[in-house]
Structure 1
Amino acid sequence: MVLNGLIDFFIHPDRFKSDDELRKARLLVRGSLLTSLFSNSYLWLSFYFSFQMGIYMMLMNVVGFLLLPFLVKTKIPIIGIGNIYVLIGAIAVTTLAYYSGGTESALYPWIVSIPVLALLIVNRTSAVFWGAISFTTMVFIGFLAIKEYPFPEAYDKSLRSEWFTAIVPGLLLIILFIAMVFEFTQQKALQRVANQNAELLQQQAVISEQKEELKSLIEEKDYIIRILSHDLRGPLGNIKGLIRMMDMETDAERKDECKELILQTSLNAENLVNRVLEMDRSEQESDKVDFKKIDLLPLLDELINKMQGLASKKSIKINLLCYTDKTTVVVDKTYVNLIFENLLSNAIKFSQPQKNVTVTLNSKNDYIQISVADQGPGIHPEEEDHLFKKFSKLSTRPTAGESSTGLGLSLVKRYVETNNGTVRYDREASTKGATFVVELPLSN
């Protein structure tokens, strides 16, 4: 972390805006500092071999490569600074090769390092440029050697073996060091790219999740609209049936009863709309439930009276049978009304004219069982698994051309579970039609 802070100290703030620019800047700073350190060791070797020109050139390298990072702190393009880096090295290597024997010098092969450093530190174009210069320089020195040009050997020649042993492996070391710096920088860059890709994948996952949530919300909104359109049909149908009954009635008292039922049905419809809007606001299926102790028997009796107008159109009689004295439950009255309004509406809808619909109450342990049985065609065994699914339409059709959305039983299940109860299709009891059994918790 300290080294990274030192490296970034030499980098102009504008270079941090581009990942590629920042990577190149850091590579150049690291390379310069390492090369200065490496040149420092050869400075002391030059003293050992009494190589005066080596002392001058290595001193130039040490100072030059130490000062070079300060140029990175300016706005000078990185490519320009990188080529200055290569130029300093090229001057030192070429000069030292000349003053230590030309082609016979241990520094002659070091000219190869010039385009290599250009490739690692700058770019491919600079490597080609410096490669051409290095090639030309090596050929020229070779041509002079062929012509037997007397290259100076300005070092202690009695230490020739030690000279070659110290200088030639250095070529490997400097290229290895710079290559390792390059590889480290590349690795960091690749890691950064990998991290960015991981972040992108994570963001894509979040977007995908949000897309699914949005899709779910849209479906829920659509479902709520369908709930309203479906469950408002029942009260509106009851109101129409009661109005027809009023037209047929001559008894004033009976007309007042119809008016009262119409008012109550309208209030139930309004309550339904409010409750569904509450559900929409909370974005939950059943967030606000008003649990109260309710005597189920009079509630069902009142509901049957409301539904009788709809049933009378098909000359269907609705019977209410009670075989228990435990009829008090802890439920939400609005939802319970909707449960049995849907079940009775379906029973009437799928029954032939002049048949019976029977509602039966029994108690079992801590629950009361309410069964709604019709005398219609029943449910095909292979379709039983689809009974309580949203929008599932079965092969059995209403007997008088009534509409069916496939929502009724899914809503019944939803409302029953909201009231901590269960609902099922009773196959064994459904020998002459369809029987649905609802279980609701009794009040303690």
Structure 2
Amino acid sequence: MKYWLLVLSLFSVSLHAPAQVDTNYLKALYDRCLDFSEDKADSILHYATLIKKESDQLHFNKGDVLSLRLKGIFEEMSSNYSGAIEYYLQSLDASRKLTDVAYEKAALSDLAIAYANIKEPLKAKDFYLQAAKISKGTGDVYDLVNTYNNLAVIYTQLKQLDSAKLLLNDAIRYGKPYEKEIDLSSSYNNMGNLYCQEKKYDEALTYFRRNYEQHIKGDNPGDLWVDLLNLADVYSEKKQFDSANKYVQLAMKLALELESKGKEADTYGILAKLAEYKGDYRTAYDNLKKWYKLDTAIINGDTYKTIAELQERFHAKDREAANKLLKEQVEKESLRTKIVTIVAIAMAAIIILVAIAFITKRNANRRLKNINELIVQQNEKLEELNYEKNSLISIVSHDLSTPFTTIQVWGHVLQAETGTLTADQQKALGKIMQASNNGEELIRRVLDVEKKDIGQHRMQLENFDLTIFAEEVIDSFRPMAAKKDIRLHAEMPGKNLYLLSDKQLVSRICENLLSNAIKYTPHGKNVWISISDELDAVSIKIRDEGVGIEKEELPYLFSKYSKISSQPTDGEASTGLGLSIVKRIVQEINGKIFCESEPGKGSLFTVVLRK
């Protein structure tokens, strides 16, 4: 559970009120409140109310913007994201009425951070791009670093890791010469989290330790909590449990001191993972329940509904303004048309004919332009609906994965006490564990197809030896084959055979096909994988002595969710998704895939990839 950091601008002044309050004092008070941590959230609300009251008396036109933004920050610190977004939208509206781009950019950034925190990265990306457009060309290095850092977090949530890493490298490169004035800890933290996702834990530790050594000397407990949780998480992945337990206990102590439900929930998540890795499934289950209770309390369905209503009300104001502008344009166009008509009547016959032809052509072009605009709007709506569909799938998978995880945790607890169970109960428990594993696998496979993450995957081309690669793939499947007494054979050329392609995607192709071959092959039979050189291409063939496929079913073999009559020989799970994924990957790397099969005589899958 990595904790990503989004950045706000901070300033420092005294909070002691002068005898005579003026607008400069109110602005300075607002700047100082931006520097408050979560333990001073109540003070932020107090000063927001004070700024509003004094601004009304002084007729300070920026008072509404300052007060509304501080109230939004208070609600966000209290984990009330619907309230925070409502105030941020009001602050955005007030800043646009002032035509003050600095406050408009701040409101856009606040909205982006709030949407990122409630797992809506596409909306967050939209607000950040609007803010970046305003910032473009200012030459402010601090603003540039923050924009790159925040956009990198959003691209990470959208699973575009290569783009995120490029942005973080740029943020660190631009900010490094000004490191005494610009705090780069957020960029270092986010870079560490990227390396964790790539399972490069030693590289991640370099960035996490750098931040920890800096923040342990500071006075911001929120930043220190992030460092402690990240260190605990990465040490858990490295199976260094003593170090992991040390940092997670410090993180929990700090979360309780800050009285932050969000931080407490995330810490319970790491405690659950640590207990699971140590084999203490009962403790893992208890911590998982605490995490789920707190996480559900922070963000639930009512919150999303409220946020959607607020967004719609805000857009309604934009539509009203757009309709007013459109009406003015229509009136101007109508007047312009009348003038053209009067002039045209006064012209000679030949000029009238030319004018008619011109008007006809112009109207045709206008209709064509309107049609094109309608098509663009329809395409944008389709993209929005498609993203909402994918978001719904992600939400459903999140909700479904929790009961499956709970079933598995309790299953492990019961399996640890097999001495108290009868043979029938042990058999039933085995069926329960198998069913929960199959359900969780089905969720992952559905998401693998529907999210289209293959299309979003940035190609990482490398020149690798295909023979060595194939041997590594075979070795990873020998335990699976041994359970069914299946013999794996490798037929390799007598020379090194290099392929320039994405090694990760080629690995997914081979692993999927080899897994299927073992599933559909009876006990005691054989499975072959062969590699051959085909002039300007290479051929990867996987052959089995399995149950085979009916001839009439072959045309539908690579279709999404297709189900064929052939069944795995040992009751293994099959979702009908694997081969559709394989075909999509093969097409992505400009290859071809074929299948030859006959019932009772096995199957031969051939993948041809250009060198």
When normalised by structure 2's length, the TM-score is 0.31
Higher relative contact order (CA 8 A, sep 6+): 1
Larger radius of gyration: 1
